[in-house]
Structure 1
Amino acid sequence: MSKDLLLEIRTEDLPPSEIDSIKSQLKEKFLEHLRQQELAYSEIHAFYTIRRFGIIIKSLVEKQPDRIVEKRGPSKNVAFDQDGKPTRALEGFLSSNNAKLDEIEIKSVKNGEYVFLKKKIEGLPTKKLLEDSIPKILNSLNFKKPMRWGDGKHKFVRPVKSILCLFGSEVVEFEFLGIRSGNRTVGLRFFSDAIEISSIDEYFDKLRGGFVICDPLERVETIENQMDVFEKSQGVKVDRIEALIDEINKICEYPLLVSGKFKEDFLNLPEEIIETTLNHHQRALTVRKKDGKISNLFIAFQDRPGIEENVKKGYETVVNARLTDAEFYYHEDLKVPLEERNEKLKGMIFQKELGTLYDKVKRIENLSIKISKRLGFSDKELAKIQEAAKLSKADIVTNLVYEFPELQGIAGRIYALKQGKDPEIAYALEDQYLPGGEDNKNLPRNVIGAVIGLADRIDTLAGNFLIGNVPSGSRDPFALRRKLYGVIKIIVAFEWDLPLGELFEYSKDLLKIEKHIFHEEIEKFVKVRLENYLIEEEGIDGDIAKAVLRLWRKPLRAYFSAKALQKHRKEGTLDDILIAFERPFNITKNYGTYDYSGTLFKEEIEKELFQRYIETKEEVEKHLDHLNFYDALEVLRRMKSHIDEYFDNVFVMVNQEEIKLNRLGFLKTLTELFLNFGDLDLIERKERNVQ
């Protein structure tokens, strides 16, 4: 027999930023509880609104299955005396397990004969288990910013108003934070009285009648359907921003579309200003005409039934006021050329101990020049990059960005174009922040934005590591992991063979801050992020990703090496490469020098391998110069037969010390050729037995 479980925790308004975590934690913890207690079920769903969250478990068994548990007692010698009578040790074992002598049996195990007892443990009623476990599950939930109330003893995401918990039609009785569970809930505030629930089947229907749509998927469908109707009736297209629709879904229990208009004069403003005013500040969606141009219509969603004219007027009043401010700031900002704004950056602190924003701009400029020269850009390209670097933070001191921080970078691009700057430079001012934040997939449109974005991130990373702001655990207040991800993503996307270690060192010199463990911390940080990137973004196997971290100072080479090794693995040729590497590596890994002389080779086979090595080295280096790691590995693979023949016929560890050391030095040098691709000894192959 089975029943459905319904749990609803009704609270004060939940922070939208906590909701996804609550939903996933609640489901995971219930799944773990069901697994531990061996409780079968058919479906499990977590749900939420802004004022409640809960779980539904369908066809949950009413009772745990009975279990047979075997317990081991004392050894036979300890359990019985010389006359075969039970000792106190055995009597104690029987007493503690409520068992009789005829229930035990003697079994032989590795270390002798022991007393064993098979005991049937009857399963507990599911309702009883839930009454004990639900408060513990709720207490175990973690929140970014929990709240205390009352006398300070209670701590939860927000104060709890009521708890509804039913197993079938029965109340699962427990207390949590001073609130007793029951069979009542409340619909939308101000629109619904208490609602009594007798079963899970009527829960959603009754709450719908109380103007609450509990299922988040149903709410999204309601939002989308209303937008469909609006588009057809008005002959327009709504900009359906997924992140904003998700946010609306999280803040509304009964979303109802409200449409409004702003003054047509504001359509002369850049679209980004209109979009930011509506999307970020009013949680409203922009609407476009059939020709794709933005219209003066907008839509938002109220959390209540019935279309109230004053809600529409309220939205229109606020939107028009905000756009009036934006229009004023926009025109005032255009009066001052961007290059004249850098002086104000001298009075703005970038970060404590890292100087002003003006100091940062200077460092970005120097780093950008360094990067550009390493990449061999022309004087014309270098001049554009240098100008973009100088203007990179100028828009921060504009009125528009002060009032609308979301427009940082975008405002720089808008003003640069309006003031007649080169479009490549203008777009670089916006693209320098890509990838990052919500837009972590898109990349800069041109190399100018990519270079200054790279310089900006490297400066921030180096500076924070030098002053001790090293991310640990989940703590990363300056989003340094995301910034390093951006560095790796840009280097790989633009295929720039840049020496990242050298750039961090140069950045350290520009900051003029000393820290002895800077290099070790940076190396460790880069390796972790690079490994994650290769595995999660590029689908590289974990052992290969770990192996190429040897090349972390040049991330593009690590990336190409990983891709090449992965391709050889897929084609079934990687094992040959690994065996060719392992035989010389294993015998020389504890040998410390690369010294050898060709004149000391005695055997014809070692002379042939030496000649093969000279030819292979030249060919491999030529491929690596062109970043062709796959073909370079293929060249090494062809050495396998020569290396096998060498080890089958040449005894390395001869008694003649000079000959032995010469052979070890040569094999150590040969191994280095393979290490251009990473620590290949970390890569697993089908057979590890190397003769």
Structure 2
Amino acid sequence: MANYLLEIGLEEMPAHLVSAAARQLATRVSDFLIDNRVTFETVTEFSTPRRLAVLVSGLANESESIDEEVKGPSAKIAKDSEGNWSKAIQGFSRGQGVTPDDLVLKGDYYYANKHTSGFKTADILIKIGADVISKMNFSTYMKWANNNFLFIRPIQWLVSLLDSQIVAFTLLDVTANAMTRGHRFLADTPIVLEQATDYENALKNAFVVADSAVRKALIVAQIVEIADDNDWTIYLVPNLLEEVNNLVEYPTAFIGNFDAKYLAVPEEVLVTSMREHQRYFEVRDLTGKLQPHFISVRNGNAEFIENVARGNEKVLVARLEDAEFFWREDQKLKISDLVEKLKKVTFHEKIGSVYEHMRRVKMIAEKIRQQAHLPEEYAEKLDRAADIYKFDLLTGMVGEFDELQGVMGEKYALLAGEDAAVATSIREHYLPTSADGALPETAIGSVLAIADKLESILSFFTVGLIPSGSNDPYALRRATAGILRIIDKQKWTIQLAELIAELYELPLNGFKYAKYDEVMTFINGRVAKMLEGTARHDIVEAVLATSSLNVAKLTAIANYIDVKSTESTFKNSVENLARVFNLADKLENEPSIDETKFENESEKALFAASQTLNMTADINQNITQLFSLSKPISDFFDKTMVMVEDETLKNNRLSLLTNITEKASEIADFRLINTK
């Protein structure tokens, strides 16, 4: 068994891409070895800002040989009329590396017993540059020099070492060898590795902690020690910690300070400046109160750390000076003036201004309030929120710190004397900001968030800016998912399909929504995505066929049908209902049931059972009642011919079935549920 080291040395990568790139390399190397039938025990990944590497342990010295039986042509075409092997059988034999006489006849077909010998692992690994590295995918690429090769960053060196043997391959003008590099500033001289397993320790001696998990643990330990020594609380934000970890090869945490006067600026501004702009961790006391300090992590040792701290303090103070200035100046602005200026701010060149977008959102928000059955007293506050909710886009603070959209709007609105609910909705309308991000807490904020996102979806679809494949520049998928999550959280019985149809009839001051079918298909797809995991795929498809787009209802139905699918009676119940659906489609007239035309007891019994079927608000009860029709339906089909020649009798029976499907369709299209 052997060990193999592969390292790609690079110019510094963007921190947010390092971890994903390391995982991708490990996965691709594993798949490469599996595809080439080379067994191994583990693949350990390493990564820093300027290197991606894997160490494969327990690697076989050669690939596994395989014996396989390959099916060939049928006996009917194996020989010609003179008894000679046909061209088909000869071609098959050549392809398998055998002669026709080596083939074995089994039943009606000839088979080749094919043996493929293993190859030396070193010979296979030579292909790893072309088959693994050159095929890696990234969201960001670079092209350098005069070549057409694209990669996340320019490749500076390559290491390919099988135990002590160099497995050389070349990418562009870089040939893999046994030479790696240490820290750029502390030990940036070539390091010749004697064994693949020397990698981690050799780099450690050259001020590089190659294992990202070990490096992160060091950062956490250093910060915790600083916090304990000073009676501080440090919140190690996971995303920030991950990014900081991918910015350094040899971490050293240190303390920085700023003037306490800046604490008069809203906390969100200070935290944004530290976290988002400078990658610092803010400091709080044991009660959670923000303190005029920060913790940063240096890519290097502790030598001259005081100078490093002072340099970081100067950078932060420059930002805090800007923040303090904008905070002071923005308070001199009037909301009404800012809203008026939004008439000249473009939402999108094909759609119009931000102000026009807000006017449409205002109408949509009122429709949503009504469908959500929110009290009339909310209308005035919602109306005011919709009138002003984008004003902070024109404040100096948001211009400098765009991450604070909505957050500053809430603060400035409160300072201007706006109602607290209105101010909160200004902040909440942006939520959620990610696939699993926090949702609005208030009803008004939730309505405004839905209205804003829905108007964006309808507008962008109208002008043909529709997501395709992975391309979604206006984040319309995320917006739709946000709408659905908000409705689900609030447990509102909003009929989205009905609501959206109403919006297409609104007077929009010259702007008219279009592409209704495309919008509904898009939203249905997002609902299906949301319901993934809550029930089987076929059950989700059947439930979505109701077209109600009542998210809470659809979720409840899918969940309960999925629960019922484990019961022994489920198959018969669904199949009987599906049969009812199939026959009911054959009714060409309006349904009309005449009880006097029932000819047997099974018709009367099914009619009586269907009359007790009352679709209430209790989803579970409705489904249970539908499934209880299974026996009456079964008896009906056993004793009644539906498609008889007598048109009157046929239509009466089809009307009876249609009466059932009209109610069952509120639950699901049972024809789409797989019972096999």
Normalising by structure 1, report the TM-score. 0.91
Q: Say which of 628, 631, 651 aligns to 1:661.
A: 651
Does the residue aligned with 1:359 lie in a helix, a strand or coil? Answer: helix
CA distance 1:127–1:593, shift in 2 (3 Å): farther
Match of 1:487 in 2: 483
Does the residue aligned with 2:63 lie in a helix, a strand or coil? Answer: coil
Match of 2:287 in 1: 291
- Aligned equivalents of 2:285 and 2:425: distance in 1? 29
What residue identity is the alignment partner of 1:578? V
Q: Is the CA contact 1:594–1:669 (under 8 Å) kept in the aligned structure 2?
A: no
1:640, distance to aligned residue in structure 2 (A): 2.1
- Match status 1:419 vs 2:409: no
User: Which 10-residue stretch deviates more, 606-615 or 505-514?
Assistant: 505-514
Does the residue aligned with 1:253 lie in a helix, a strand or coil? Answer: coil
What residue identity is the alignment partner of 1:368? A
Match of 2:102 in 1: 104
1:441, distance to aligned residue in structure 2 (A): 3.5
1:19, distance to aligned residue in structure 2 (A): 2.5
CA distance 1:57–1:656, shift in 2 (3 Å): same
The within-5 A match list for 1:193-342 is 193-307=189-303, 308-342=305-339
Match of 2:175 in 1: 180
Match of 2:441 in 1: 445
- Aligned equivalents of 2:354 and 2:507: distance in 1? 14
Q: Say which of 122, 126, 129 aligns to 2:124.
A: 129
Q: Is the CA contact 1:459–1:507 (under 8 Å) kept in the aligned structure 2?
A: no
- Match status 1:649 vs 2:639: yes
- Match status 1:139 vs 2:134: yes
Does the residue aligned with 1:107 lie in a helix, a strand or coil? Answer: strand
Gaps of 5+ in 1: none
- Aligned equivalents of 1:679 and 1:46: distance in 2? 48
What residue identity is the alignment partner of 1:558? L
- Aligned equivalents of 2:368 and 2:115: distance in 1? 73
What residue identity is the alignment partner of 1:523? M
The within-5 A match list for 1:17-166 is 17-70=16-69, 104=102, 106-111=104-109, 114=110, 117-166=112-161
Q: Is the CA contact 1:257–1:301 (under 8 Å) kept in the aligned structure 2?
A: yes
CA distance 1:82–1:498, shift in 2 (3 Å): closer
What residue identity is the alignment partner of 1:15? P
CA distance 1:134–1:151, shift in 2 (3 Å): closer
What residue identity is the alignment partner of 1:650? T
Does the residue aligned with 1:369 lie in a helix, a strand or coil? Answer: helix
CA distance 1:572–1:448, shift in 2 (3 Å): farther
1:571, distance to aligned residue in structure 2 (A): 5.5
Match of 2:10 in 1: 11
What residue identity is the alignment partner of 1:585? F
1:119, distance to aligned residue in structure 2 (A): 4.5
Does the residue aligned with 1:237 lie in a helix, a strand or coil? Answer: coil
CA distance 1:258–1:602, shift in 2 (3 Å): same
Does the residue aligned with 2:440 lie in a helix, a strand or coil? Answer: coil
Q: Is the CA contact 2:163–2:197 (under 8 Å) kept in the aligned structure 1?
A: no
CA distance 1:394–1:574, shift in 2 (3 Å): farther
Match of 1:605 in 2: 602
User: Which 10-residue stretch deviates more, 151-160 or 18-27?
Assistant: 18-27
Does the residue aligned with 1:182 lie in a helix, a strand or coil? Answer: coil
- Aligned equivalents of 2:327 and 2:134: distance in 1? 50
- Match status 1:676 vs 2:666: yes
For these two proteins, the number of residue pairs brought into alignment is: 670
Percent identical pairs in the alignment equals 29
Match of 2:530 in 1: 533
User: Which 10-residue stretch deviates more, 565-574 or 347-356?
Assistant: 565-574
Q: Say which of 379, 389, 407 aligns to 2:386.
A: 389
The within-5 A match list for 1:390-539 is 390-437=387-434, 440-508=436-504, 509-511=506-508, 512-513=510-511, 518-536=515-533, 539=534
CA distance 1:62–1:270, shift in 2 (3 Å): same
Q: Is the CA contact 2:72–2:92 (under 8 Å) kept in the aligned structure 1?
A: yes
1:669, distance to aligned residue in structure 2 (A): 2.4
1:452, distance to aligned residue in structure 2 (A): 0.4
Does the residue aligned with 1:59 lie in a helix, a strand or coil? Answer: strand
CA distance 1:144–1:646, shift in 2 (3 Å): same
Match of 2:550 in 1: 555
What residue identity is the alignment partner of 1:187? G
Q: Say which of 344, 347, 354 aligns to 1:347.
A: 344
CA distance 1:324–1:606, shift in 2 (3 Å): same
- Aligned equivalents of 1:88 and 1:492: distance in 2? 65
User: Which 10-residue stretch deviates more, 504-513 or 157-166?
Assistant: 504-513
- Aligned equivalents of 2:400 and 2:103: distance in 1? 81
Does the residue aligned with 1:165 lie in a helix, a strand or coil? Answer: strand
1:506, distance to aligned residue in structure 2 (A): 4.3
CA distance 1:171–1:612, shift in 2 (3 Å): same
User: Which 10-residue stretch deviates more, 629-638 or 85-94?
Assistant: 85-94
What residue identity is the alignment partner of 1:142? N
Does the residue aligned with 2:323 lie in a helix, a strand or coil? Answer: helix
Q: Is the CA contact 1:488–1:555 (under 8 Å) kept in the aligned structure 2?
A: no
- Aligned equivalents of 2:166 and 2:635: distance in 1? 78
User: Which 10-residue stretch deviates more, 469-478 or 191-200?
Assistant: 191-200
- Match status 1:615 vs 2:612: yes
Runs of 4+ in 1 over 6 A off after TM superposition: 72-98
- Aligned equivalents of 2:421 and 2:460: distance in 1? 30
CA distance 1:603–1:142, shift in 2 (3 Å): same
1:576, distance to aligned residue in structure 2 (A): 5.2
What residue identity is the alignment partner of 1:107? L
CA distance 1:336–1:654, shift in 2 (3 Å): same
User: Which 10-residue stretch deviates more, 228-237 or 373-382?
Assistant: 373-382
User: Which 10-residue stretch deviates more, 19-28 or 265-274?
Assistant: 19-28
- Aligned equivalents of 1:366 and 1:138: distance in 2? 53
1:510, distance to aligned residue in structure 2 (A): 4.9
CA distance 1:92–1:671, shift in 2 (3 Å): closer
What residue identity is the alignment partner of 1:549? L
Does the residue aligned with 2:626 lie in a helix, a strand or coil? Answer: helix
Does the residue aligned with 1:251 lie in a helix, a strand or coil? Answer: coil
- Aligned equivalents of 2:85 and 2:379: distance in 1? 93
What residue identity is the alignment partner of 1:227? I
Please list the CA deviations of residues 276-298 of structure 1 after superposition, one character each: whole Å capped at 9, or x if unmatched: 11011111010110121111110
Q: Is the CA contact 1:462–1:507 (under 8 Å) kept in the aligned structure 2?
A: no
- Aligned equivalents of 1:606 and 1:73: distance in 2? 58
CA distance 1:470–1:20, shift in 2 (3 Å): farther
What RMSD over aligned residues (CA atoms) do the two structures have, in Å? 2.6
1:96, distance to aligned residue in structure 2 (A): 7.5
User: Which 10-residue stretch deviates more, 20-29 or 146-155?
Assistant: 20-29
- Aligned equivalents of 1:521 and 1:286: distance in 2? 46
Please list the CA deviations of residues 200-233 of structure 1 after superposition, one character each: whole Å capped at 9, or x if unmatched: 2211111111111111111111111111111111
Does the residue aligned with 2:57 lie in a helix, a strand or coil? Answer: strand
Q: Is the CA contact 1:594–1:668 (under 8 Å) kept in the aligned structure 2?
A: no
- Aligned equivalents of 1:582 and 1:433: distance in 2? 43
- Aligned equivalents of 1:629 and 1:78: distance in 2? 61
What residue identity is the alignment partner of 1:397? L
- Aligned equivalents of 1:442 and 1:601: distance in 2? 58
What residue identity is the alignment partner of 2:102? I
Normalising by structure 2, report the TM-score. 0.93
